[in-house]
DNA sequence: CACTCCATCAATCATTTGATTGAGAGGAAA
DNA sequence: TTTCCTCTCAATCAAATGATTGATGGAGTG
């Protein structure tokens, strides 16, 4: 254990040295904040260093290149999504119940970590050109979509959803609608709720 | 005699001078091509000038600042979407028929102008920080969504769609799913077709 | 022809920005 | 203490990048 002292993010930071891992975490956090403010496009190594309270060279010591920096951010995002996805157990639930759980997860993430999707969007955008980012970010989305597809498959089997439902297509619609609504700055929370309700009506089995 | 030569890249530009409007159009076109290649982030005034075949100073003569340049691109995108949206008449069609027309428009745009959505995505992304871009791009999306909402309203009235359909929410789902599927690089055309079919089943009235 | 304006260019400026270098402080191990 | 490794910084570089300046040729007009 090397660093029981500082940890104060920026203001005073009396302690002199920090372990490498902690620094990398702090760097990722600062980078994410800047991405939220100015976008990936406006991400500057100097700004990160300033926010963490270290020298540019020190930043480069911990994260050698900017590309690695972006990859680090992508990693930190993935970790958070992964953790969130595994919080609620889906065991023994019907398809519809699991869909509701999925919606709850979505609401919770939107409420408590709204910056996550902003960063994720920027990363997806960059993934089109950056293979390293794509390798981290695209599987993340596929995982999310796959989870919806599983839920729909289960729900068709247990009678929650329409028999003629196409699980893959429905999963694509659901994730697409959710991520798009999340991304847009001009969507009110109530409209999101309407969309969630409408998604349920769209896929549910009718008597 | 300084510039009898250049113009090499653009086949339609044998003469020396071009009218201001034509230049601006050429600049917008070049900028869009570069955005597709490298993203808004990789857009450089020099690259644009080189592609158009003019000097950087000349570029700045026509488009004073980079911000204005981005706004110009946004304008050109809007014009194209607007033109596309008004091509097919919706008169006298049922809600379902109009939905099909909307799907056709989507397929056509995806097929013939796939770069449009790439640029639009970048612009939407930037709209979060750039009010000038937001003023052009956000209304564009609202228009699209509004068109879907109108179709759903009509379709509910004429019996094409479910009576309990929420037009606004359905429009949000439809546009969200479509734009998201368009944006993602890893969605196959067949999956898009599946999604379109599923969207129809999701909203249609059941006997 | 004389005058004016549009469009253009070469050259250059002033910053920004990612990255590097070389030196040094502090702790742990020998 | 000496040695070695980790972590840190001031100083600096080289490239890029948006923007500006001053001058020039040509078209249109009176």
pLDDT tens track for B133-143: 899 899 998 99
User: Which CATH code is given to the segment(s) A20-64?
Assistant: 1.10.10
Strand partners, A124: none
Which backbone phi and psi does A161 adopt, to 5 degrees?
-115, 170
As a 3-state breakdown, chain A gives helix, strand, coil percent values, each rounded to 5, of 70, 0, 25
Q: Is A5 on the interface with B (CB under 8 A)?
A: no
- Mean pLDDT lowest among B47-51, B121-125, B164-168, B193-197: B121-125
User: Residue B81: what pLDDT?
Assistant: 87
What is the sign of the dihedral through the CA atoms of A168, A169, A173 and A179? positive
What is the Cα gyration radius of chain A? 20
- Nearest residue to A123 via CA among A183, A200, A207: A183
Higher pLDDT among residues B181 and B155, named by residue: B155
Q: What is the mean pLDDT of residues B56-76?
A: 92
Question: CA-CA distance, A165 to A159, in Å (whole number)?
Answer: 11
User: Residue B17: what pLDDT?
Assistant: 55
Provide the CB-side half-sphere exposure for A151 (13 A, CA): 26
Q: Across chain B, what does the average pLDDT equal? A: 86
The answer to whether A19 touches A7, Cβ cutoff 8 Å, is no
Of B129, B175, B178, the CB nearest to A38: B129
Q: Is B181 on the interface with A (CB under 8 A)?
A: yes
Chain B residues touching residue A185 (CB < 8 angstroms):
127-128, 138
Q: Give Cα B161 to chain centroid, integer Å.
A: 28
User: Residue A11: what pLDDT?
Assistant: 30
Where helices occur in chain B by DSSP H, the ranges are 20-38, 45-52, 56-62, 66-85, 95-112, 114-127, 131-158, 167-183, 189-203
Q: Token pair for residue A170?
A: 């429905």
User: Residue B60: what pLDDT?
Assistant: 92
> Which positions on strand D lie below 7 Å from a protein C-beta?
6-12, 16-22, 25-27
Pairwise CB contact (< 8 Å): B172 & A195 = yes
- Taking the domains of chain A in order of start, what are their residue ranges? 20-64, 74-203
User: Residue B19: what pLDDT?
Assistant: 64
Residue-wise pLDDT tens digits, B145-177: 999 999 999 999 999 999 999 999 999 999 999
Question: CA-CA distance, A43 to A142, in Å (whole number)?
Answer: 27
**What DSSP designation does B5 have?**
S
Of B176, B178, B194, the CB nearest to A169: B194
Q: Is A172 on the interface with B (CB under 8 A)?
A: yes
Residues 25-64, chain A, CB closer than 7 Å to nucleic strand C: 43-46, 56-57, 60, 64
The answer to whether A82 touches A60, Cβ cutoff 8 Å, is no
Q: Does at least one atom of strand C sit less than 7 Å from the CB of A131?
A: no
Question: CA-CA distance, A21 to A40, in Å (whole number)?
Answer: 23
User: Residue B86: what pLDDT?
Assistant: 81
Q: A74-203 belongs to which homologous superfamily?
A: Tetracycline Repressor, domain 2 (1.10.357.10)
First to last CA, chain B: 77
Question: CA-CA distance, B53 to A55, in Å (whole number)?
Answer: 42
Q: Token pair for residue B138?
A: 């956000």
Chain B residues touching residue A203 (CB < 8 angstroms):
202
User: Residue A6: what pLDDT?
Assistant: 30
Pairwise CB contact (< 8 Å): A194 & B125 = no
Q: Which chain A residue is nearest to residue B183, measuring alpha carbons?
A: A125
Q: Token pair for residue B206?
A: 């059941």
Collect all residues with Cβ–Cβ distance below 8 Å to A199 and sequence separation of at least 6: A173, A174, A177, B173
Collect all residues with Cβ–Cβ distance below 8 Å to B199 and sequence separation of at least 6: A173, B173, B174, B177
* The CATH classification of domain B73-203, taken from the options 3.90.1150.10, 1.10.357.10, 3.40.50.720, 3.40.50.880: 1.10.357.10
Report, as ranges of residue numbers, the positions in chain A whose pLDDT lies below 70. Answer: 1-20
Burial (Cβ within 10 Å: 0-12, 13-18, ≥19) of residue B84: middle
Q: Is B46 on the interface with A (CB under 8 A)?
A: no
Residue-wise pLDDT tens digits, B97-120: 999 999 999 999 999 988 898 898
Collect all residues with Cβ–Cβ distance below 8 Å to B183 and sequence separation of at least 6: A124, B117, B118, B121
Q: Is A14 on the interface with B (CB under 8 A)?
A: no
Chain A residues touching residue B138 (CB < 8 angstroms):
185-186
Q: Token pair for residue A21?
A: 């891992």
Which backbone phi and psi does A48 adopt, to 5 degrees?
-60, -50
Chain B residues touching residue A122 (CB < 8 angstroms):
125
Question: CA-CA distance, B82 to B85, in Å (whole number)?
Answer: 5
Residues 76-115 of B with CB under 8 A from A: none
pLDDT greater than 60 at residue B12: no
User: Residue A20: what pLDDT?
Assistant: 61
The answer to whether A199 touches A177, Cβ cutoff 8 Å, is yes
pLDDT greater than 70 at residue B11: no
User: Residue B13: what pLDDT?
Assistant: 31
Q: Does at least one atom of strand C sit less than 7 Å from the CB of B16?
A: yes
The answer to whether A52 touches A10, Cβ cutoff 8 Å, is yes
Pairwise CB contact (< 8 Å): B191 & A197 = no
Distance A131 CA to C24 C1' (A): 39
Q: What is the mean pLDDT of residues B17-45?
A: 87
């Amino acid at each position: 254990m090397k660093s029981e002292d500082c940890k104060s993010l920026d203001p005073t930071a009396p302690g002199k040295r920090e372990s490498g891992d902690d620094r990398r975490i702090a760097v990722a956090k600062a980078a994410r904040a800047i991405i939220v403010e100015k976008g990936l496009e406006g991400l500057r190594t100097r700004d990160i260093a300033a926010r963490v309270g270290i020298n540019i060279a020190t930043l480069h010591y911990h994260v050698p290149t900017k590309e690695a920096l972006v990859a680090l951010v992508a990693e930190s995002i993935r970790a958070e999504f992964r953790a969130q996805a595994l919080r609620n157990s889906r065991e023994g639930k019907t398809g519809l119940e699991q869909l509701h759980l999925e919606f709850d997860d979505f609401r919770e993430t939107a409420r408590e970590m709204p910056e996550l999707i902003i960063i994720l969007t920027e990363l997806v955008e960059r993934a089109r050109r950056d293979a390293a980012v794509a390798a981290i970010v695209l599987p993340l989305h596929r995982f999310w979509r796959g989870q919806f597809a599983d839920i729909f498959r289960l729900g068709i089997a247990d009678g929650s959803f329409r028999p003629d439902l196409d699980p893959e297509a429905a999963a694509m619609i659901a994730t697409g609608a959710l991520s798009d609504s999340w991304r847009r700055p001009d969507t009110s929370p109530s409209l999101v709720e309407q969309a969630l309700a409408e998604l349920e009506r769209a896929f549910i089995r009718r008597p």
